[in-house]
């Protein structure tokens, strides 16, 4: 018998590391431990199971060839020597190299010796200390059992109104799960001033909020929850400073915290998560750790971060398995690539948002762009909206975000940027990026190229912008020192010319050079079109003619429409 490997945690990272080690070292004695009886399931699929897109919970536990990943599977198919479910690891004795465990069904306690230990203890949902959080009907999605219980309540018709606390990815996925198939009256309460805070920035977040409202979901930002109330021990409403929201179910989607208690108790180095090196060894070289419970390096900031993603947990499990078998393998770090579905939208990002980049000390700015995600003349081409975040001083790309239709277009752009972010690309590197083109799949110039061109124009002073918030304020307040010049077709511009006489002027795109006398030189000139392309070209002609106060709102009117703003 070879070395003894004990793996604690059997959802994502743990099974991957155990199976990889066993494949590389068939002679090893591998033990897999988990306190639950449902193991190795696709946790990221839980919202789609609740929605009904995935009808059976076992589908979350099946392989691609339809074997359920249970104790039998791991022992007989994968060769894991001991698969101990409903078994809680209570203590690690590093000197004696044993793990103390308690078998939850029998109450029996014993010790399991190891040569190498793997900690894949995952994370626990964070539930803020709000009064009433212990009422029946208040959930945090911590495991598959909770998901099954929610699905059963829905199927029995016990839920008519749902309140979700937190508008991160899980919160929005759960909102869709309740509102779409089940038709539940759904409210999302978010502490911050936008949905998906710190992941995407306000221009794209406002699109997502508007889309949620179009789908019947009530979105409340800047929410300050006072308490959760109930009757006869069961939840009835959530009370917020500005009102109350009836609820038959409340779901906390307020993030997770790494499960580090076992590691901390064993004297391992722990900060927010378990500290590991790039081979995923802890401060004890005989003990490895991976998944939601660890800290890893963010490759843009260079700082340690906790990033609980199933994709990372699986990759880390393979790295651990390699190193257990003596194959030196590194996990270099992360750039935070994520993607999600929200009704008819695909939302993705990687790297840093503008707010995070500035908080990290970068001289950050952003460029916005929108165009069709495939050739504009190809049937059913739809718009994708993208944001590029870069450092103004050194032109380094820091992050990228996209909101597009529910196709693979957003995913393709996130993949392209996330693959080069570790190499510290510049705006010019993105302009030079070679990307595949055919009209059914892409434009000759990809949205990545176009937003990089916009960023370069901003950096070189060729494009001077004004935020939409400021432009709208001037329009609504009737700023006498500002005039809006609409470069679109006369039929598009006519309603606004009539509504704002003397302040909204129409000069069509191809007539700007010949009709500059219509545009005052003594006012701020805000140039308007649908996407900002025509407005930008008009700005170039005006600047060449000596106009000194011209501005273009980023992204054009297409952004306002997706925000639900009508002029």
Side-chain-facing half-sphere of 303: CA atoms under 13 Å: 12
- Considering the entire predicted model, what is its pTM? 0.94
Which bin fits 479, alpha (ψ -120 to 50), beta or left (φ > 0)?
A: beta
- Closest C-alpha among 90, 215, 255, 247 to residue 564: 215
Q: Do domains 4-123+257-324 and 468-563 have the same CATH topology?
A: no
Give the chain's end-to-end CA distance (angstroms, integer): 75
| Helix or strand holding residue 151 (H, E) | helix 144-155
436 DSSP assignment: -
Spans of all domains in the chain? 4-123+257-324, 138-254, 338-460, 468-563
Give pLDDT tens digits along the chain (567 positions): 689 999 999 999 999 999 999 999 999 999 999 999 999 998 889 999 898 889 888 899 999 999 999 999 999 999 999 999 999 999 999 999 999 999 999 999 999 999 999 999 999 999 999 999 999 999 998 789 999 999 999 999 999 999 999 999 999 999 999 999 889 999 999 999 999 999 999 999 999 999 999 999 999 999 999 999 999 999 999 999 999 999 999 999 999 999 999 999 999 999 999 999 999 999 999 999 999 999 999 999 999 999 999 999 999 999 999 999 999 999 999 999 999 999 999 999 999 999 999 999 999 999 999 999 999 999 989 999 999 999 999 999 999 999 999 999 999 999 999 999 999 999 999 999 999 999 999 999 999 999 999 999 999 999 999 999 999 999 999 999 999 999 999 999 999 999 999 999 999 999 999 999 999 999 999 999 999 999 999 999 999 999 999 999 999 999 999 999 988
CATH homologous superfamily, domain 468-563: Rhodanese-like domain (3.40.250.10)
DSSP 183-214: --EEEEE-SSSSSSTTTS-HHHHHHHHHHHHH
SS3 content of the chain, % helix, strand, coil (to 5): 30, 25, 40
Kindly list the strands in the beta sheet with 249-252, ordered across the sheet, starting from the edge strand earlier in the chain: 138-140, 249-252, 161-165, 185-189, 218-220
Task: Give dist(CA 187, CA 164) in Å, integer.
Answer: 6
CATH architecture type of domain 138-254: 3-Layer(bba) Sandwich (3.50)
> Phi, psi (5° rounding) for residue 453?
-60, -45
Could you tell me the two tokens for 366?
């952003």
Residue 137 to residues 159, 219, 230, 264, 558, Cα–Cα distance (Å): 10, 21, 9, 33, 41
Residue 92 to residues 99, 109, 114, 284, 316, Cα–Cα distance (Å): 5, 13, 10, 12, 22
pLDDT in the model for residue 1: 67
- Closest C-alpha among 129, 128, 347 to residue 256: 128
Return the number of other C-beta atoms located less than 10 Å from residue 405's C-beta: 17
Positive or negative, the Cα torsion across 513, 514, 515, 521? positive
pLDDT in the model for residue 52: 85
DSSP 524-541: EEEEE-SSSHHHHHHHHH
Task: Give dist(CA 317, CA 292) in Å, integer.
Answer: 11
Task: Give dist(CA 373, CA 378) in Å, integer.
Answer: 10
Q: At what angle do helices 169-179 and 202-214 cross, to 10 degrees?
A: 20
Contact between 500 and 475 under an 8 Å Cβ cutoff? The reply is yes
CATH architecture type of domain 338-460: 3-Layer(bba) Sandwich (3.50)
* Residue for token pair 């990002």: 349
Residue 39 to residues 36, 70, 107, 167, Cα–Cα distance (Å): 7, 6, 20, 27
Candidates 3.50.50.60, 3.40.190.290, 3.40.1360.10, 3.10.20.90; correct CATH number of 4-123+257-324? 3.50.50.60
Strands (E), 94-203: 98-103, 109-113, 116-119, 123-125, 138-140, 161-165, 185-189
Residues marked active site are found at: 44
């Amino acid at each position: 018998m070879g070395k003894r490997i004990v793996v604690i945690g059997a959802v994502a990272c743990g099974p991957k590391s155990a199976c990889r080690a066993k494949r590389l070292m068939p002679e090893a004695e591998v033990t897999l431990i988990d306190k639950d009886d449902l193991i190795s399931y696709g946790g990221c699929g839980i919202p789609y199971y609740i929605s009904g897109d995935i009808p059976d919970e076992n589908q979350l536990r099946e392989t691609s060839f339809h074997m359920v990943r249970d104790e039998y599977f791991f022992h007989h198919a994968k060769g894991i020597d001991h698969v101990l479910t409903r078994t809680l690891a209570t203590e690690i004795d590093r000197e004696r190299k044993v793990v103390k465990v308690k078998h939850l069904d029998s109450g029996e306690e014993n010790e399991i010796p190891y040569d190498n230990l793997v900690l894949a203890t995952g994370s626990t949902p964070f539930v803020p200390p709000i009064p009433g959080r212990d009422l029946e009907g208040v959930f945090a999605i911590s495991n598959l059992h909770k998901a099954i219980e929610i699905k059963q309540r829905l199927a029995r018709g016990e839920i008519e109104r749902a309140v979700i606390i937190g508008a991160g990815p899980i919160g929005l996925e759960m909102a869709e799960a309740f509102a779409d198939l089940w038709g539940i009256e759904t409210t999302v309460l978010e502490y911050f001033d936008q949905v998906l805070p710190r992941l995407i920035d306000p221009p794209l977040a406002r699109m997502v909020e508007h889309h949620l409202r179009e789908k019947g979901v009530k979105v409340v930002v800047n929410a300050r929850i006072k308490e959760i109330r109930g009757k006869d021990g069961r939840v009835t409403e959530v009370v917020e400073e500005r009102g109350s929201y009836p609820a038959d179910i409340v779901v906390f989607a307020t993030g997770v915290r790494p499960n580090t208690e076992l590691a901390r108790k064993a004297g391992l180095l722990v900060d927010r998560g378990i500290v590991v090196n790039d081979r995923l060894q802890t401060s004890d070289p005989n003990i490895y750790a991976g998944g939601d419970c660890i800290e890893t390096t963010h490759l843009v900031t260079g700082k340690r971060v906790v990033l609980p993603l199933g994709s990372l947990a699986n990759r880390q499990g393979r790295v651990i398995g390699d190193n257990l078998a003596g194959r030196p393998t590194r996990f270099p770090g992360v750039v935070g690539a994520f993607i999600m579905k929200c009704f008819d939208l695909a939302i993705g990002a990687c790297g840093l948002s503008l707010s995070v980049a500035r908080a990290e000390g970068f001289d950050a700015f952003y460029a916005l762009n929108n165009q069709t995600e495939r050739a504009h003349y190809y049937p059913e081409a739809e718009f994708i909206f993208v944001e590029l975040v870069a450092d103004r001083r050194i032109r380094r790309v820091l992050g990228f975000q996209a909101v597009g239709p529910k196709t693979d277009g957003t995913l393709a752009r996130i993949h392209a940027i996330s693959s080069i972010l570790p190499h510290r690309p510049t705006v010019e590197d993105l302009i030079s990026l070679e990307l595949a083109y055919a009209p059914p799949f892409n434009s000759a110039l990809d949205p990545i190229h176009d937003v990089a061109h916009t960023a370069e124009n901003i950096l070189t002073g060729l494009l001077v912008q004004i935020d939409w918030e400021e432009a709208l304020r001037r329009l609504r307040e009737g700023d006498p020192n500002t005039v809006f010049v609409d470069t679109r077709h006369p039929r598009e511009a006519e309603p606004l010319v009539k509504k704002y006489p003397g302040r909204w002027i129409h000069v069509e795109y191809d007539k700007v050079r010949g009709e500059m006398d219509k545009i005052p030189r003594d006012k701020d000139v805000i140039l308007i079109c649908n996407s900002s392309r025509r407005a930008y070209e008009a700005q170039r002609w005006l600047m060449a003619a000596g106009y000194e106060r011209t501005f273009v709102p980023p992204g054009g009117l297409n952004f306002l429409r997706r925000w639900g703003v009508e002029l």
